[in-house]
C-alpha cells in the first residue's frame, strides 16, 4: 500500500510491503488509483530503494530491547518507486493506501512502454526473469540511434553486452519482422586480445553456466529460452586482421590463437594516396595549425600522384634514391627511368626527399609551400614513427589480384558480421585502420543510402574521440554519431569513462548502458540520466548485469544477460563438437 507518512507524488512514492510479501530493487510495480469521478489512473514504476526499520521506537539501541522481547515494535518494510509511466497521463498523485502490485504480463508491458514499441528486441532479463524489450526504432536510426556503454574494464562487460545486443538483434526476430534480416550487418573492432576471434565457435561452457543460473533461480527455462534466443554462436562471420610484418609474397594474418578463417587485409599504396588516408596517420594533427596545413597539402599532392592508374604501386620520375640512405634495397626502376614506390617506407623516403632534401635541402617549393623546416621535419618524423606498424598494412608490392583479394570489404556478400582485429597494432595504426574503415563505410553509405543498417562496435571511444582536441578519426566518429543514424550506420560505442569521450558522441546515443562504474565517475554529469540511487549502485554491479536506459522508459532498468553462447577465448571453443576425443584424434592421424 502506498504510504501516507511519506509524500506520494506522480513521479515517486513509497509503499509499505505487507508481511509475507517481498520486494527487491528493480522490481516493476503497478498502482491503480481512482479519481473522484471514478475513473482509474495507473502508475507504473520501478523500485529504486527498499528499507526496513523498527517502527515505534526512537533509539537505534532499542533494537536490543526489541530482540530481547521487552519492547514491542513492528518491522516496517517499505520501498520507493520511481514512476516510469502514468496512464492516462493525468499527473495526480497516488493516494495513501492504494494497493501496489508486481507488474507482470500486460502491466509489465505497460510499465516498460512496450506497447509503444512497434519493433522491439530483448535487451536482457529483469531481476524477476521477465524480458526487457528495447525499442528497435531507437536503435536503427528511425527515431533515434546509437548505443553507448560505459563501465570499468576488467570485468569484460562492455563488449559482452554489445555482442549480446547484436545477437539479440540478429537472431531475435526483430529483423525478420521488418524484412531486413539479409542486409543488416555488424562491424566489430577488436582492440584487446584475440577474444573476439572465436565468435563463430560455440562456447563449451555455456550449458554449464546457464544451467547453474537456471538452477539457482529455480526457473523452468534457461535464460536463452526466456529471451527467445538460440544458444548459438554468430553466423556468417568474417575475421579480418592486419598481415604480419616483413616483405614477401605470402600475406598471413598477424594473429596467434586462431590458425584458419582469418583473412588478412591490406591497403595498396595507391589506395592510400588516392583514398586520402594520410590524415588518419596523424591522430594529433589538430595540435598544430601548420602541421595540419602540411598534411593537407601532401595529401593533395599524393592524391594527384596516384590518380590515373590502378596498379598497387606509385611511380615517380623525379627521385633517384641514393643507395646509402635507403632502408629498402629492392627499389625498382621502371623502363622509362621512373622510380617505383612499392613500400610505405619508400613513400616516406620520397616525401622526405621532396620536402627536406631536394634543392640542397630547400625541398621542392611546390611541396614545401614555404612551410617552416621544423614543421616539415615534424611531419616526416611522425611518419617514420608509424612506419613499422603501417608498412605491412600499406603495400605497393602486390599483384592486382592480391590487392583485390585482401582489400577489406566489410559489406562482402554473405557476411553478416565482420570482426576487424586490431589488438596487435600500435595506437596510431589502430586509429588509422578504424578511421579509414569507418570513413570508407561512411562514404559508401552516403552514396548508397540507409537501407542496410550497419552496426559498428567500437570499444575505447575515449581513445578515438577524446573530449579534448580534434583528429580526423574523431571527425569521422562525430559524423557517424550525428549523421550516421540517418545513413544507417549505428555506433555501439563503449568506454570506461563517458566523461572522457566527446560529449556529442555520448549525447547522441539513444540507448545508454552502464555497467560497473567507478563511484567517482558515476557522479559526473554524463551519468545524470541515472537517478541517485542507481549511481550509487553502479559501483557494485556484477559482471553480467547492466543498467539500461532507453528513451521510452524514463528510468534505467537493471538487466542481466546470459553467458555468451559463442566462445570468447580459445579455451572456450567447443572444438570437440560433442564427439569423443579418440574420434578426433583419429581424424588428425588420418
- Residue 231 C-beta: closest distance to other proteins, Å: 49
Nearer to other proteins, 76 or 470 (CB): 76
Burial track 368-378 (b if 16+ CB lie within 10 A, e otherwise): beebeeebbee
Number of residues that bind other proteins (CB under 8 A): 15
- Residue 67 C-beta: closest distance to other proteins, Å: 8
- Residue 191 C-beta: closest distance to other proteins, Å: 59
Of 127, 77, 132, the closest CA to residue 100 belongs to 77
- DSSP letter at 193? T
Nearer to other proteins, 65 or 364 (CB): 65
Nearer to other proteins, 50 or 73 (CB): 73
**Using CA atoms, how far apart are residues 183 and 134, in angstroms rounded to an integer?**
21
- Residue 184 C-beta: closest distance to other proteins, Å: 56
Of 130, 134, 127, the closest CA to residue 27 belongs to 127
Please give the angle made by the CA atoms of 466, 470 and 473, to the nearest 5 degrees: 75
Of 22, 71, 88, the closest CA to residue 50 belongs to 22
- Residue 98 C-beta: closest distance to other proteins, Å: 12
Nearer to other proteins, 65 or 232 (CB): 65
Per-position DSSP letters for 222-242, written without gaps between them = -HHHHHT--S---SSEEEEEP
- The alpha-helical segments, DSSP class H, found in 449-523 are 461-464, 472-479, 485-487, 503-507, 519-522
Nearer to other proteins, 20 or 246 (CB): 20
- The alpha-helical segments, DSSP class H, found in 112-252 are 158-171, 174-178, 206-217, 223-227
Residue 490 cell numbers, joined: 549505428
Nearer to other proteins, 45 or 94 (CB): 94
- DSSP letter at 480? I
Cβ neighbors of 504 (< 8 A, separation 6 or more) are 478, 481, 482
- Residue 35 C-beta: closest distance to other proteins, Å: 15
Going through 380-480 in order, the beta strands assigned E by DSSP cover 394-395, 417-421, 454-458
Nearer to other proteins, 70 or 581 (CB): 70
- Residue 45 C-beta: closest distance to other proteins, Å: 23
- Residue 78 C-beta: closest distance to other proteins, Å: 18
Nearer to other proteins, 75 or 307 (CB): 75
Nearer to other proteins, 65 or 236 (CB): 65
User: Which residues, 317 to 336, sit near other proteins by CB under 8 A?
Assistant: none
- Give me the 29-58 binding string for other proteins, x by CB under 8 A, dash otherwise: ---------------------------xxx
> From residue 407, how far is each of 15, 204, 417, 421, 589 by CA, in Å?
62, 33, 16, 15, 36
User: Which residues, 95 to 154, sit near other proteins by CB under 8 A?
Assistant: 97
User: Which residues, 516 to 555, sit near other proteins by CB under 8 A?
Assistant: none
Query: Residue 215 interacts with other proteins (CB under 8 A)?
Result: no
Contact stretch for other proteins (CB under 8 A) within 60-68, 417-425, 453-461, 560-568 = 60-68
Nearer to other proteins, 69 or 218 (CB): 69
Residue 245 cell numbers, joined: 610484418
User: Which residues, 63 to 102, sit near other proteins by CB under 8 A?
Assistant: 65-66, 68-73, 97
3-class secondary structure, 442: helix
Identify any residues that bridge with 52 across adjacent strands, giving them in sequence order.
77
Nearer to other proteins, 39 or 61 (CB): 61
- Residue 53 C-beta: closest distance to other proteins, Å: 15
Cβ neighbors of 460 (< 8 A, separation 6 or more) are 191, 494, 495, 496
Contact stretch for other proteins (CB under 8 A) within 41-49, 62-70, 246-254, 509-517 = 62-70
Check if the beta carbon of residue 129 is closer than 8 Å to that of residue 108: no
**Using CA atoms, how far apart are residues 471 and 167, in angstroms rounded to an integer?**
32
User: Which residues, 384 to 403, sit near other proteins by CB under 8 A?
Assistant: none
> From residue 51, how far is each of 20, 25, 77, 241, 569 by CA, in Å?
15, 10, 6, 53, 41
Among 59, 91, 333, 448, binds other proteins (CB under 8 A): 59
Interaction site with other proteins (CB under 8 A): 56-59, 61-62, 65-66, 68-73, 97
Amino acid at each position: 500500500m502506498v504510504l501516507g507518512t511519506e509524500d506520494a507524488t506522480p513521479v515517486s512514492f513509497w509503499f509499505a510491503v505487507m508481511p509475507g510479501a517481498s520486494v527487491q530493487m528493480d522490481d516493476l510495480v503497478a498502482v491503480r488509483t481512482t479519481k473522484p469521478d471514478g475513473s482509474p489512473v495507473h502508475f507504473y514504476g520501478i523500485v529504486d530503494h527498499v528499507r526496513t526499520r523498527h517502527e515505534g521506537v526512537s533509539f537505534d539501541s532499542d533494537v536490543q530491547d526489541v530482540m530481547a522481547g521487552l519492547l514491542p515494535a513492528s518491522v516496517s518494510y517499505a520501498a520507493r518507486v520511481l514512476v516510469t509511466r502514468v496512464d492516462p497521463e493525468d499527473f495526480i498523485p497516488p493516494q495513501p493506501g492504494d494497493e501496489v502490485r508486481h507488474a507482470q504480463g500486460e502491466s509489465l508491458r505497460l510499465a516498460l512502454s512496450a506497447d509503444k514499441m512497434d519493433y522491439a528486441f530483448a535487451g536482457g532479463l529483469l531481476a524477476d526473469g521477465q524480458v526487457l524489450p528495447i525499442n528497435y526504432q531507437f536503435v536503427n536510426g528511425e527515431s533515434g540511434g546509437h548505443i553507448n556503454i560505459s563501465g570499468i574494464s576488467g570485468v569484460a562487460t562492455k563488449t559482452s553486452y554489445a555482442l549480446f545486443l547484436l545477437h539479440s538483434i540478429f537472431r531475435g526476430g526483430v529483423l525478420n519482422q521488418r524484412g531486413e534480416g539479409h542486409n543488416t550487418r555488424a562491424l566489430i573492432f577488436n582492440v584487446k586480445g584475440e577474444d573476439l576471434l572465436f565468435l563463430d565457435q560455440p562456447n563449451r561452457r555455456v550449458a554449464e553456466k546457464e544451467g547453474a543460473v537456471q538452477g539457482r533461480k529455480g526457473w523452468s527455462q534457461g535464460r536463452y529460452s526466456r529471451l527467445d534466443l538460440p544458444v548459438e554462436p554468430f553466423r556468417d562471420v568474417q575475421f579480418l586482421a592486419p598481415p604480419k610484418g616483413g616483405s614477401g609474397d605470402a600475406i598471413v594474418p598477424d594473429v596467434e590463437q586462431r590458425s584458419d578463417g582469418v583473412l588478412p587485409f591490406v591497403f595498396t599504396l595507391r589506395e592510400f594516396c588516392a583514398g586520402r588516408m594520410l590524415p588518419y596517420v596523424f591522430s594529433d594533427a589538430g595540435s598544430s595549425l601548420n602541421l595540419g596545413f602540411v598534411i593537407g597539402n601532401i595529401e593533395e599532392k599524393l592524391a594527384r600522384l596516384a590518380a590515373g592508374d590502378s596498379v598497387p604501386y606509385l611511380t615517380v620520375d623525379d627521385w633517384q634514391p641514393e643507395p646509402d640512405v635507403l632502408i629498402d634495397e629492392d627499389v625498382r626502376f621502371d623502363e622509362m627511368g621512373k622510380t617505383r614506390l612499392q613500400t610505405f617506407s619508400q613513400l616516406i623516403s620520397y616525401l622526405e626527399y621532396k620536402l627536406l632534401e631536394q634543392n640542397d635541402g630547400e625541398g621542392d617549393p611546390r611541396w614545401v609551400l614555404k612551410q617552416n623546416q621544423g614543421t616539415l621535419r615534424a611531419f616526416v618524423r611522425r611518419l617514420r614513427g608509424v612506419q613499422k606498424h603501417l608498412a605491412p598494412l600499406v603495400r605497393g608490392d602486390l599483384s592486382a589480384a592480391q590487392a583485390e583479394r585482401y582489400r577489406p570489404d566489410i559489406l562482402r556478400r554473405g557476411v553478416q558480421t565482420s570482426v576487424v582485429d586490431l589488438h596487435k597494432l600500435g595506437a596510431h595504426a589502430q586509429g588509422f585502420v578504424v578511421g579509414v574503415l569507418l570513413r570508407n563505410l561512411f562514404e559508401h553509405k552516403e552514396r548508397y543510402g540507409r537501407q542496410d543498417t550497419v552496426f559498428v562496435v567500437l570499444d575505447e571511444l575515449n581513445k578515438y574521440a577524446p573530449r579534448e582536441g580534434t583528429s580526423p578519426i574523431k571527425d569521422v566518429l562525430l559524423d557517424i554519431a550525428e549523421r550516421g543514424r540517418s545513413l544507417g550506420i549505428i555506433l555501439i560505442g563503449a568506454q570506461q569513462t563517458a566523461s572522457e569521450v566527446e560529449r556529442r558522441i555520448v549525447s547522441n546515443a539513444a540507448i545508454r548502458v552502464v555497467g560497473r562504474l567507478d563511484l567517482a565517475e558515476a557522479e559526473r554529469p554524463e551519468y545524470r540520466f541515472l537517478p541517485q540511487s542507481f549511481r550509487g549502485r553502479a559501483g557494485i554491479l556484477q559482471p553480467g548485469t547492466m543498467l539500461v536506459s532507453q528513451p521510452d522508459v524514463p528510468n534505467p532498468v537493471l538487466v542481466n544477460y546470459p553467458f555468451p553462447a559463442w566462445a570468447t577465448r580459445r579455451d572456450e571453443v567447443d572444438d570437440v563438437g560433442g564427439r569423443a576425443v579418440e574420434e578426433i584424434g583419429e581424424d588428425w592421424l588420418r
